[in-house]
Amino acid sequence: MTPDARPVQPAAEARLRVGVLGAGMIATIGYGYLPHLGKIRDRVEVTAIADRRLDLARAVAEAYQIDRAVDSLDDLLALDLGAVVNLLPGPAHFTASKRILEAGRHLITEKPITSTLAEADELLDLADRRGLYVVAAPADMLASDWARARDLVARGAIGKVAFARVQSSHAGAAGLSWPVDPSQFYQEGVGALLDLAVYGITQATGVLGPAKRVSAMSGITVPTRVARGGAFDGRTIPVTAPDNNLLLLDLGEATYAVIDGTFNVVASRSPHMEVFGLEGTLLVNRADVAAPPIELYRLDAAPGLAGWISPQTYEIFPVGSDRFAELQRGALVEHLADCIRDGVQPVASGRHARHVLEVMLAAQQSAREGRVIDVVSTF
Ligand SMILES: NC(=O)c1ccc[n+]([C@@H]2O[C@H](COP(=O)([O-])OP(=O)(O)OC[C@H]3O[C@@H](n4cnc5c(N)ncnc54)[C@H](O)[C@@H]3O)[C@@H](O)[C@H]2O)c1
């Protein structure tokens, strides 16, 4: 073979150089980011971590073999990075995300994307103008169970959908032996709506499509909570943001979803989501209940028979292909690397996150004013 006849080797894919902003709980907890990013080190290199608590940044850098620890976003952005993962507390997301995009870096942001729609629009416009990606948590629609639920509904597996019930609550950080101070979750700017309902709204709209109208009731269940277990056991926490939210979404064509987003579910056995259609029922089950992840009741499950089935597919290698299960929040980072490589738009997109924010803000307004609020964005 002459040199010219040699097959052309594709250039080795460049690793995405990522900086992490915030070395707190979600950076390091088991279901968070850093414990999993080593599994994709052939695709992603975590180059640096920043936290205003430099001692914490250094400790996390040492634990995860990250080369650089710095104490500010400015110092992070001075490094050679392709993307930054914004893991600051919610109220700080916008300012940092804007600077990340202005510095020409792709953005992965924790939820909620911003505090206001104007801020979200500013970020998305900036990203569009600069040709940058915005990948946004929650990552649920990257999980195979949620994607399968969406596809089954879209393929008509339960016929026309009438309504869905979505469970998006837990006992709240004060009730869950939280390792860091749980107070922030009960205060204005966070609360059970922005902290928890965000998941159920992402799942409901991810499976059923964008919401068109929202009605909600919200309240403060009790004015103080007492931390139960964890590093702050016994601490009294003032509650200044609603911790009890029930939302009703109108998804169009008389399809509705009821979503709870509260810190008041100390235990439950109900599925994450139940979807009721004219030809059947679809369940997305909780991981801690002994049931298949997805169950389907079909009126015509077998000739002449109605019944429950556990959907199986003919996909090659479906087992082990669930990157969300393997990478947890790190799936968002792999997702960004995939989108850059393939030139496609993210599933966990800034536009979906912006729609979810619009629903949450509409729910706040509805609860305040006692009326139904229109939602105009789609994704
Ligand atoms: N903890 C969870 O279970 C969890 C789950 C899902 C999503 N999240 C999301 O992750 C984000 C972070 O949550 P967390 O629980 O890790 O919070 P955290 O308070 O544990 O960590 C935040 C870190 O950011 C640092 N920080 C704050 N402002 C800074 C600034 N301006 N510059 C540099 N560092 C700064 C703090 O020192 C702290 O270490 C939030 O948006 C939250 O909604 C958390």
Average pLDDT of the chain is 94
Task: Looking at the CA of residue 88, tell me the nearest atom of ligand 1.
Answer: 24
Q: How far is the CA of 16 from the centre of ligand 1 (A)?
A: 23
Token readout for 162 is 């009438």
At 13 the pLDDT is 66
Mean pLDDT of the 258-269 span:
96
Q: How far is the CA of 24 from the centre of ligand 1 (A)?
A: 5
Q: How far is the CA of 341 from the centre of ligand 1 (A)?
A: 29
Query: What are the structural domains, with CATH classification, of the chain?
Result: 12-132 (3.40.50.720), 141-313+348-374 (3.30.360.10)
Cβ of 159 below 6 Å from ligand 1: no
Token readout for 256 is 């509705």
At 322 the pLDDT is 85
* Separation CA 75–CA 52 (nearest Å): 11
Q: Per-residue pLDDT tens for 8-33?
A: 444 456 899 999 999 999 999 999 99
Q: How far is the CA of 311 from the centre of ligand 1 (A)?
A: 38
Q: How far is the CA of 88 from the centre of ligand 1 (A)?
A: 4
Instruction: With cut-offs at 50, 70 and 90, classify the pLDDT of residue 369.
Output: very high
Task: Looking at the CA of residue 56, tell me the nearest atom of ligand 1.
Answer: 39
| Element spanning 179, H or E | none
* Separation CA 9–CA 253 (nearest Å): 52
Mean pLDDT of the 92-114 span:
98
Cβ of 92 below 6 Å from ligand 1: yes
Q: Per-residue pLDDT tens for 192-235?
A: 999 999 999 999 999 999 999 999 999 999 999 999 998 999 99
At 12 the pLDDT is 52
User: Is residue 7 pLDDT above 50, yes or no?
Assistant: no
Q: How far is the CA of 92 from the centre of ligand 1 (A)?
A: 9
Query: Between residues 7 and 302, which one has the greater pLDDT?
Result: 302
Instruction: With cut-offs at 50, 70 and 90, classify the pLDDT of residue 318.
Output: low
Mean pLDDT of the 247-271 span:
97
Cβ of 231 below 6 Å from ligand 1: no
Q: With b meaning 16 or more CB within 10 Å and e meaning fewer, what string describes 323-360?
A: bbeebbbbbbbbbbbbbbeeeeebbbbbbbbbbbbbbb
| Percent share of the chain, pLDDT over 70 | 94
Q: Are 20 and 105 in contact (CB under 8 A)?
A: no
Q: Which residues on adjacent β-strands are paired with residue 360?
A: none
User: Is residue 4 pLDDT above 70, yes or no?
Assistant: no
26-30, 207-211, 279-283, 312-316: the lowest-pLDDT one: 312-316
Question: Which of 87, 198, 329, when mutated, tests ligand 1's pocket best, judged by the most ligand atoms within 8 Å of its CB?
Answer: 87
Q: How far is the CA of 85 from the centre of ligand 1 (A)?
A: 11
User: Is residue 3 pLDDT above 50, yes or no?
Assistant: no
Give the dihedral sign, CA 328/172/64/346. Answer: positive
Q: Are 256 and 241 in contact (CB under 8 A)?
A: no
Question: Which of 53, 56, 73, 88, when mutated, tests ligand 1's pocket best, judged by the most ligand atoms within 8 Å of its CB?
Answer: 88
Token readout for 249 is 């979404």
What is the residue-wise DSSP string for 236-273?
EEE--S-SEEEEEEE-STT-EEEEEEES--S---S-SE
At 137 the pLDDT is 98
User: Is residue 341 pLDDT above 80, yes or no?
Assistant: yes
Amino acid at 343: G
Token readout for 281 is 């029922």
Token readout for 26 is 């979600």
Q: What are the Cα distances from residue 144, in Å, to 48, 148, 334?
A: 30, 6, 15
Residues 6+ apart with CB under 8 A from 322: 143, 144, 145
| Percent share of the chain, pLDDT over 90 | 89
Task: Looking at the CA of residue 110, tell me the nearest atom of ligand 1.
Answer: 41
At 288 the pLDDT is 86
Cβ of 180 below 6 Å from ligand 1: yes
At 315 the pLDDT is 63
Q: How far is the CA of 233 from the centre of ligand 1 (A)?
A: 20
Mean pLDDT of the 243-268 span:
98
